[in-house]
């Protein structure tokens, strides 16, 4: 009797025509009914591999999972229409492991999407051009919501990637270490960069964006770079003597070395413009610092906050006065309101709460004002300009827009991917866009107004946990006369996506 399996190059493979009520595929039917059962089941099997074209191209093959059931210890290949045995992952020479299969599938999707983007450079979606949209709007054929969303979709889908040349006084430094974080100042004239160093630790510095012109794509790295053997968890710009005059860093502790928060003058990174350079203006040792925020409200002038393990620490740089607020969970994300001296915090427990920093420390947690709840650890929060709404993302990949007046979720932005990383949100209300980079290394852009996913941008480099892009979006990269677009830092490269 012929067996219903065969060997493949990667390992032993089973046809997906196996009987569904034997999930492990090892039970043999009796000789009397075996041939009959195979003949009956053969025509019933249909396999549809891969997602439809309307789905997010970076998403997992949910359709595949629904048609071909997952068998413990086996992998289903939709192209070959067969199951293959998974081999133990501890042996580096094994050709087929769960991680290698997932990486291969992700890489195939990334390359396919990059190829599609190359083809779309010369063409846009049929019927999607500015003159047609304007004409339809004037004729009343499009609502204002649809018109705004389609204009955003048109502009976002016309964005094209170009590599930026980074000039550095020290040629041995530029382009040698992977970008980890880039954060732009308010005017988008500079970005603060954090790069991983091969032997461990980080280096950080400032890049001047003034060279970003319509023709030229060149930026200049400041002279002075600084190194640390600790991991940089969080960064924000601080306005102490003038707008964005300083940079606030939160460093994670290692071994017996505790974490610390440091407030550094931006002039420290430039030899040509020394200015007032007091070195580390404010630095103190703390437990692990997960997040930080600078307050721009005059009622809490010269104050910054650090989100720690189970507490929030608010410090006045000038007086040195500190306030501590105990929490029940680690504080992973923070932002101050500008209209009031209120600090919003996102926690590992999924709770979001606010603190009015004018009040004194209280026992317990009676000082908590607004309280919202996510089902997973909150990794990023963004207070909208009018300060009636707050955007939050969590480790389950959920992005929600909350109405702070009613404490209810009013919108969800679907498609984001996250499992355990601290990934930021980028909101540009002027253009009506929400941007987030997922743990799968895809950059997704949504319409703020109707939560429609406008575009999914693949990384120019193969996906990996140490190659998650860091992005900045602005209508004026390089200052008031700068160019609009998206900056993407990944591996050792910096890219510009034009937004016209």
* Residue 475 near residue 463, CB atoms below 8 Å: no
Q: Kindly state the DSSP code that residue 272 receives in the 8-state scheme.
A: S
Q: Give the whole-number percent of the chain exceeding pLDDT 70.
A: 77
Instruction: Say how far apart CA 42 and CA 422 lie, in whole Å.
Output: 48
pLDDT of 12 over the 50 cut: no
Q: Give the whole-number percent of the chain exceeding pLDDT 90.
A: 46
* Residue 368 near residue 343, CB atoms below 8 Å: no
Report the relative pairing of strands 408-412 and 425-428 from DSSP bridges. Answer: unpaired
pLDDT digits (tens, 9 = 90+) for 271-327: 776 555 555 667 778 878 899 999 999 999 899 999 998 999 999 999 989 999 989
Query: Rounded mean pLDDT of the chain?
Result: 80
Q: What is the pLDDT of residue 214?
A: 63
Q: Tokens representing 448? A: 């703020």
pLDDT of 174 over the 60 cut: no
Using CB atoms within 10 Å of the CB of residue 139, give its burial: 0 to 12 exposed, 13 to 18 middle, 19+ buried. Answer: exposed
Helix (H) or strand (E) holding 6: strand 5-7
If DSSP codes are grouped into helix, strand and coil, which group holds residue 451? Answer: coil
């Amino acid at each position: 009797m012929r067996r219903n399996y065969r060997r493949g190059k990667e390992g032993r493979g089973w046809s997906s025509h196996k009987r569904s009520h034997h999930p492990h595929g090892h039970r043999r039917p009796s000789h009397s009914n075996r041939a009959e059962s195979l003949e009956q089941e053969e025509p019933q099997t249909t396999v549809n591999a891969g997602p439809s074209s309307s789905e997010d191209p970076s998403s997992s093959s949910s359709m595949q999972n629904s048609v071909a059931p997952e068998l413990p210890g086996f992998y289903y290949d939709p192209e070959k229409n067969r199951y293959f045995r998974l081999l133990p992952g501890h042996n580096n020479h094994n050709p087929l492991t769960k991680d290698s299969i997932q990486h291969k599938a992700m890489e195939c999707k990334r390359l396919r999407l990059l190829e599609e983007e190359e083809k779309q450079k010369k063409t846009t979606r049929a019927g999607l051009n500015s003159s047609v949209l304007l004409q339809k709007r004037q004729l009343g054929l499009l609502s204002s919501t649809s018109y705004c969303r389609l204009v955003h979709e048109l502009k976002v889908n016309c964005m094209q990637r170009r590599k930026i040349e980074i000039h550095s006084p020290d040629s041995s430094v530029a382009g040698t270490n992977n970008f980890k974080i880039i954060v732009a100042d308010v005017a988008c004239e500079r970005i603060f960069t954090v790069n991983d160093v091969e032997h461990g630790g980080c280096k950080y510095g400032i890049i001047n964006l003034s060279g970003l012109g319509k023709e030229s794509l060149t930026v200049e790295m400041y002279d002075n770079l600084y190194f640390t053997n600790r991991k940089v968890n969080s960064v924000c710009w601080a306005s102490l003597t003038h707008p964005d005059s300083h940079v606030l860093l939160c460093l994670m502790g290692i071994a017996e070395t505790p974490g610390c928060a440091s407030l550094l003058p931006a002039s420290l990174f430039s030899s040509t413009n020394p200015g007032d350079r007091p070195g580390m203006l404010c630095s103190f040792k703390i437990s692990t610092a997960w997040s930080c925020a600078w307050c721009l409200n005059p009622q809490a002038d010269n104050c910054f906050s650090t989100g720690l393990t189970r507490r929030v620490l608010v410090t006045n740089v000038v007086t040195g006065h500190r306030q501590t607020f105990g929490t029940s969970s680690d504080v992973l994300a923070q932002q101050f309101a500008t209209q009031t001296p209120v600090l919003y915090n996102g926690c590992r427990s999924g709770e979001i709460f606010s603190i009015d920093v004018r009040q004194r420390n209280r026992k317990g947690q009676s000082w908590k004002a607004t309280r919202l709840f996510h089902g997973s650890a909150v990794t990023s929060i963004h207070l909208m300009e009018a300060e009636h709404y707050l955007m939050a993302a969590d480790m389950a990949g959920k992005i929600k827009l909350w109405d702070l007046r009613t404490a209810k979720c009013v919108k969800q932005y679907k498609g984001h991917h996250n499992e355990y990383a601290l990934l930021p949100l980028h909101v540009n209300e002027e253009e009506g866009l929400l941007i987030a980079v997922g743990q799968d290394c895809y950059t997704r852009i949504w319409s703020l107004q109707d939560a429609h996913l406008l575009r999914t941008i693949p990384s120019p480099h193969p996906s990996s946990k140490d190659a998650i892009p860091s992005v900045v979006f602005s209508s004026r990269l390089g200052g008031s006369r700068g160019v609009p677009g998206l900056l993407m830092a990944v591996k050792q490269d910096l890219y510009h996506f034009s937004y016209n």
